[in-house]
Structure 1
């Protein structure tokens, strides 16, 4: 079995540079959409349901794109057609978002555009995760994901600091009632250009391996994993699908008696949808209809490798924290550190700009950590313990948000969070990539994203109900939830230590 050629610094740069642009788009979305929604008239309690579009699109899009990108080969390659399509659609969304106030029902338009933006970014991002595994030998997976993480951090720095820099240059940071500030407008427009340039660079400077070359690299791996998951699916009973349907009915049934927020119905609908799709996939597999997307995705999901299942628990709690951060950090800083919850005031927008600044710092720390700190820690104590310790450190950062009231202390909090963020982007993928069948890397990476998306959906559907019921108008408590969730993720990570705690970079 042939070994894939090792890539030098230039090759590593080229295969990862597109992620700089993708992260520009994600960070502009994550650090500004709450501000945009509130500017367009949304209340604090409306934010979770408005944000639900983002994780929902990822849940649907990533496994599908992963499945098709595994099977694609045309003049542009295997993954690059998806890079190009997603980048164009995402750039158009970034260009249109600042114009939302000029459309009828601007808040609805912005929410729909967020849906398109997140779907487009996911179309581009998912194949990029698999692209590292496609292009590098297993001995370079850790390095490849580390370089990718560095570009993620660099893109986040650019996107997070750009509104703040524009404000320092005299661009207006306050909009009239119902109008998006000029700093945000110009940041989204610049982000659309940066996205196209960065992704375009990777498309132009890389050449993917052909199916024949991939077969020579993968050898027996391809044959071994070809239809195993679908065959296993055919032997399953329908009990699992019934359990999902019963759970869905239970969730829907408690909404009215407990007076929960209506977005809980979405959670129930998703559970019911998976139960029905599982039943259909099992039926098709039992009939011998294995060559279809649904049976393949459901079969691969139910037949995940053990290490992937354990990492899934870590991802669940890790990304619950991040979604809380994206929704509530800006409003928390404005309300508790700058003294205003009114999106039309100078104090509120000063707080929003400070959030952009400290979020920039978090991502700058992530670049340093990905290139220097985490490789050193990994060699000393192994990837698993490195990730667990990083999550514990990040948890202290959110605890600082909850306890402190001096905005300057948030700088230290962001340093702690930046270390955890870098580890989240590198360590789970470095651990996972080498244990997955390379012929189905796109599908498995898309399925792994489910454990990033589902906790975000839970936060979007449940957090609003929790806040309204127990902490109305008091979002600082979300920071305590975030700290606890990262601490739980760190403890869950330690469950992997006996099996996968190697000390290779």
Structure 2
């Protein structure tokens, strides 16, 4: 087997640069979809059901794209055609979703918003999945920590930019953050326009700057027979289920960790907006149209930017820490810190209005809104680890010729817990917590604790 060449820092950077724009789009989705759907008429208790569209699209799309990209080679490369194609569709969906109110004469506005949400998230998945495999394709084993940590840094840098856009447009440029019932604020609409454009341009940069190894060279680096045909038993619909039978044990063990961590993350994305509006701004349950609720929605962007910034900073050091004390140790401690952070949000409630200087603008918010930034440090550390450590651990246990399809199957461990959370979270909120969304973040914290414990049972292995 031919030794794989080391990449320079900037080559590794270019491989993952497209994730900067993808995560800008994903951050805008995470921080604003609940707000958009509420403005379009969605009930608070029904929000988790609408959010199921996101993991459901990932569940369907990623294994298909992963399997296809394993067998693709053309002028653009192996993974690049899917990365670019997904980005084009995602940008289009981002331009359309916040304008759902313009189609009211064609179909129900909420239905159009949901369809664009599903299309946007599905195309994110088309683009994301090959990116995960691309790092493993292009880097030797000794550079995997750096590769996935760099990817984590770019993901979180993009998330910072995407998260603050609506707040920045409102407070620095004076673009309205309120809108009549059934419509989306102009600040959100313009944020989606900017995010969609950034997504497309950054992905084009990666496609142009990254030259994937041609089949013969790739096979030499990975110890594969370039002329070997795909085993017939792994082709077609039933072949997919046969692949599940040879799933590496490491992947199954990581699935347990993924279940608890992504169950918690889903709850955060769905319920942080109502939790902050109720617990900090004192809004009534179900209030999504008042000025206070919109101000809370803008502050969510700052909080999400905060955890993404802390995640980006931690990502800079994460690969070196993982090299010294081990990937599992970093992973477990990060999830533990995340669990503590989620639970601690309950302590920060209400408070007097205070003046805050954010450098690019100044705002008046309740004092506890500022204190919420402390839990975001822990959330950011956990998020950075979730984005990098499972893939770094998993990549060495997967066969090189099935890297894409197994990375796609691994997405089940992301989509599955989110779907379950979407099905049960609304009922838990209604029947156990009386609509008080802050308690759902405590539930997320407990789930993160269980994820941290589960890491102990993961046994990394080498692929044959």
TM-score of the superposed pair, with normalisation by structure 2? 0.91
Distance 1:379 1:70 in 2: 29
Distance in 2, matches of 1:120 and 1:466, equals 30
Aligned residue among 439, 455, 458 for 1:493: 455
Spell out structure 1 runs of 4+ moving beyond 3 A.
220-227, 499-502
1:290-320 CA-partner distances (Å, limit 9, x unpaired): 2523233222223211111111100111100
Instruction: For 1:22 and 1:337, locate their aligned partners in 2 and report how far apart those are by CA, in whole Å.
Output: 30
2:369 alignment partner, SS class: coil
Residues 1:424 and 2:386 are matched in the alignment: yes
Q: Does 1:401 align with 2:345?
A: yes
> What's the offset of the Cα at 1:455?
0.2
- Paired with 1:223 and 1:407, the residues of 2 have a C-alpha distance of 60
Larger mean CA deviation between 481-490 and 22-31 belongs to 22-31
* 8 Å CA contact 1:222, 1:437 repeated in 2: no
What's the counterpart of residue 126 of structure 2?
A: 123
Query: 1:328 and 2:271 equivalent?
Result: yes
The Cα of 1:10 is off from its aligned counterpart by: 1.4
Task: Answer yes or no: is 1:446 the counterpart of 2:408.
Answer: yes
RMSD over equivalenced CA pairs, Å: 1.8
* Unaligned segments of structure 1, at least 5 residues: 228-288
Q: CA deviation at 1:402?
A: 2.2
Per-residue CA shift, 1:319-341, capped at 9, x if unaligned? 00000001000111011101114
Q: Where does residue 195 of structure 1 map in the other structure?
A: 199
Alignment of 1:307-326 (within 5 A): 307-326=250-269
- Distance in 1 between residues matched to 2:224 and 2:111, nearest whole Å: 51
Counterpart for residue 332 of structure 2: 388
1:463 and 2:419 matched: no
Is it true that 1:359 corresponds to 2:304 in the alignment?
Answer: yes
- Structure 2 distance, partners of 1:412, 1:455, is 27
CA distance in 1, matches of 2:328, 2:190: 41
For the residues of structure 2 that align with 1:187 and 1:149, how far apart are their CA atoms?
Answer: 22
* Deviating more after overlay: 215-224 vs 23-32: 215-224
Q: Provide the C-alpha distance between the structure 1 equivalents of 2:111 and 2:157, rounded to a whole number of angstroms.
A: 32
1:348 CA displacement? 0.5
Matched, 1:479 2:441: yes
Corresponding residue for 2:375? 413
SS in 1 for 2:372: helix
The corresponding residue for 1:211 is 215
Measured after TM superposition, the shift of residue 404 of structure 1 is 2.3
Superposed CA deviations along residues 118-151 of structure 1, whole A, max 9, x for unmatched, are 1111001100000001111111111100100000
Q: d(CA) in 1 for partners of 2:23 and 2:416?
A: 20
Gaps of 5+ in 2: 350-367
**Count of residues in Structure 1 that have an aligned counterpart in Structure 2:** 438
Post-superposition Cα deviations, 1:128-178, rounded to whole Å, max 9, x if no partner, equal 000001111111111100100000001100100111111111111111222
Mapping for residues 217-366 of structure 1, pairs under 5 Å: 217-219=221-223, 227=231, 290=233, 292-341=235-284, 342-366=287-311
**Alpha carbons 2:16, 2:206 under 8 Å: kept:** yes
> Aligned equivalents of 2:260 and 2:81: distance in 1?
33
Q: Could you say which residue in structure 2 is the equivalent of 1:159?
A: 162
1-side partners of 2:97 and 2:376: how far apart? 28
| 209-218 or 479-488, larger mean C-alpha shift | 209-218
Q: How far apart are the structure 2 equivalents of 1:44 and 1:393? A: 29
Q: 1:392 Cα shift?
A: 0.4
In the other structure, the counterpart of 1:32 is 32
Q: Distance in 2 between matches of 1:34 and 1:183?
A: 15
By how many angstroms is 1:226 displaced?
A: 6.0
For normalisation by structure 1, the TM-score amounts to 0.84
